């Protein structure tokens, strides 16, 4: 057998570190969290993903102790944490604005939490130095927060929140203020640090790429509810709803009516006068049930000649988005539906043969598409 895969959520005997049980949070008449149940396991890197206002930040603030649940129960390591103030929780948070103390040096910022624990001075020194080393900030220890760059500030904030070795680290949009390149580098750093320290991380983000990159599991939220919790691969390849499919990455959605054809196979009537599309689904559909077919653009092939494939449709190139490594083709079908297809740019641009207004064939296999009920 190969390595042990880290997947405590598949093990029914595993005890979750955090357990939300039917938690509801109301602000006045506004329901921020709606009857939510969720388990997060030790050493997980768990991402809460959703648009702004979906309740992900509220969920995190309840874990930190800044908000209390209106109903339901939140457990941390088997203990109900309702009413325990933030300073009495073995939970630390890295704030979106970093919230570094401007009047304290980098060193004092990191030592701040340790001093509150009345730790011995030598111990504090050792721990702060360890944190500085972990975040590669040794040479900036004496600087004030306004004397270092945004990326360094982000690392100070991380070091400060990790210094007390919390059971759980909360990260609120930790990379939001960084530019794209730095953000990507930092994502890998975060994963490294999470692995090294073995701390459970819960990250809140609205950036699906970030969530996919760093997380062991992703929870997609909307309107205070969790729509789907799964590994990044499962979320991307097997979304459970149109909302998730649409929220994560780029997707083509084709509406139609399903008819069973063979084991797990369905044929989908999607446009008058067009041959039905074939797709597979583990989830059962009744005959003539309305459904959406979700196909990722990179799973759609584009060619001049009709290919041999499970599904092939003809259309006209409307637009080409050149992204350097790949190009996205927007192809309009006779029904007016626009399908996106992605192709890797393995040849130089002058050698490429598909251009605007060309008539092309789009094709994909029956297993490439996901059938989603309404």
Partner 1 sequence: MRRWVLIAVPYLWLLALFLVPFVIVFKISLSDVALARPPYIPQFSWDDGIWAFLRELDFENYIFLTTDSLYWKAYLSSLKIAVFSTFLTLLVGYPIAYGMARAPEEWRPTLMMLVILPFWTSFLIRVYSWMGILSQEGYLNQILMWTGIISTPLTILNTNTAVYVGIVYTYLPFMILPIYAALDRLDGSLIEAAEDLGCSRFQAFWLVTFPLSRNGVIAGSFLVFIPALGEFVIPSILGGSKTLMIGKVLWEEFFSNRDWPVASAVAVVLLLILVVPIVLFQRNQQRQAEAEQ
Q: Which positions lie near partner 1, rule CB under 8 A?
A: 64-66, 85-87, 91-93, 95-97, 99, 101-103, 112-113, 116-117, 146, 160-161, 164
Shortest CB 373 distance to partner 1, Å: 42
* Residue nearer to partner 1 on the CB measure, 166 or 224: 166
* Residue nearer to partner 1 on the CB measure, 17 or 162: 162
Given a contact cutoff of 8 angstroms between Cβ atoms, the answer to whether 361 and 302 are in contact is yes
Q: What string of DSSP letters covers 54-106?
A: SSHHHHHHHHHTSS--SEEEEEETTEE-TT--GGGSSEEEE-TT----TTS-H
Shortest CB 91 distance to partner 1, Å: 8
Torsion angle (degrees, nearest 10) of CA 88, 177, 148, 153:
20
Shortest CB 36 distance to partner 1, Å: 22
* Residue nearer to partner 1 on the CB measure, 160 or 296: 160
- What burial class does residue 40 get, using C-beta atoms within 10 Å of its C-beta: 0-12 exposed, 13-18 middle, 19+ buried? buried
* Residue nearer to partner 1 on the CB measure, 60 or 362: 60
- List Cα–Cα distances, 194 to 30, 52, 93, 215, in angstroms: 35, 25, 14, 10
* Residue nearer to partner 1 on the CB measure, 102 or 324: 102
Shortest CB 97 distance to partner 1, Å: 5
Shortest CB 89 distance to partner 1, Å: 8
In degrees and rounded to multiples of 5, residue 219 shows phi and psi of -110, 120
């Amino acid at each position: 057998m190969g390595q042990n895969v880290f997947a405590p959520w598949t093990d029914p005997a595993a005890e979750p570190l955090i357990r939300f049980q039917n938690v509801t949070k109301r602000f006045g008449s506004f329901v921020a969290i709606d009857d939510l149940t969720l388990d997060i396991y030790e050493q997980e890197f768990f991402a809460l993903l959703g648009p702004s206002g979906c309740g992900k930040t509220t969920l995190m603030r309840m874990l930190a102790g800044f908000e209390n649940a209106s109903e339901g129960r939140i457990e941390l390591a088997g203990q109900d944490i309702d009413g325990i103030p933030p300073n009495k929780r073995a939970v630390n948070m890295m704030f979106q604005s970093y919230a570094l103390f401007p009047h304290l040096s980098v060193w004092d910022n990191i030592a701040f939490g340790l001093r509150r624990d009345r730790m011995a001075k030598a111990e504090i020194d050792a721990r702060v130095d360890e944190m500085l080393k972990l975040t590669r900030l040794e040479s900036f220890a004496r600087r004030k927060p306004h004397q270092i760059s945004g990326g360094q500030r982000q690392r100070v904030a991380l070091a400060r929140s990790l210094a007390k070795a919390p059971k759980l680290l909360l990260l609120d949009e930790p990379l939001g203020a960084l530019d794209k390149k730095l953000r990507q580098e930092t994502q890998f750093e975060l994963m490294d640090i999470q692995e090294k320290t073995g701390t459970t991380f819960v990250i809140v983000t609205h950036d699906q790429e970030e969530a996919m990159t760093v997380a062991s599991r992703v929870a997609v939220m909307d309107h205070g509810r969790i729509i789907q919790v799964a590994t990044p691969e499962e979320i991307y390849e097997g979304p459970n709803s149109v909302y998730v499919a649409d929220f994560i990455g780029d997707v083509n959605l084709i509406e139609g009516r399903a008819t069973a054809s063979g084991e797990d196979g369905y044929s989908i009537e999607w446009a008058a006068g067009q041959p039905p599309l074939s797709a597979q689904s583990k989830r059962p559909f009744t005959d003539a049930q309305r459904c959406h077919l979700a196909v990722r653009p990179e799973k759609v092939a584009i060619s001049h000649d009709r290919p041999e494939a499970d599904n092939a449709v003809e259309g006209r190139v409307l637009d080409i988005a050149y992204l350097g490594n790949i190009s996205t083709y927007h192809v309009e079908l006779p029904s007016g539906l626009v399908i996106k297809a992605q192709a890797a740019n393995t040849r130089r641009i002058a050698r490429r043969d598909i251009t605007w207004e060309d008539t092309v064939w789009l094709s994909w296999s029956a297993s490439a598409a996901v059938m989603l009920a309404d």
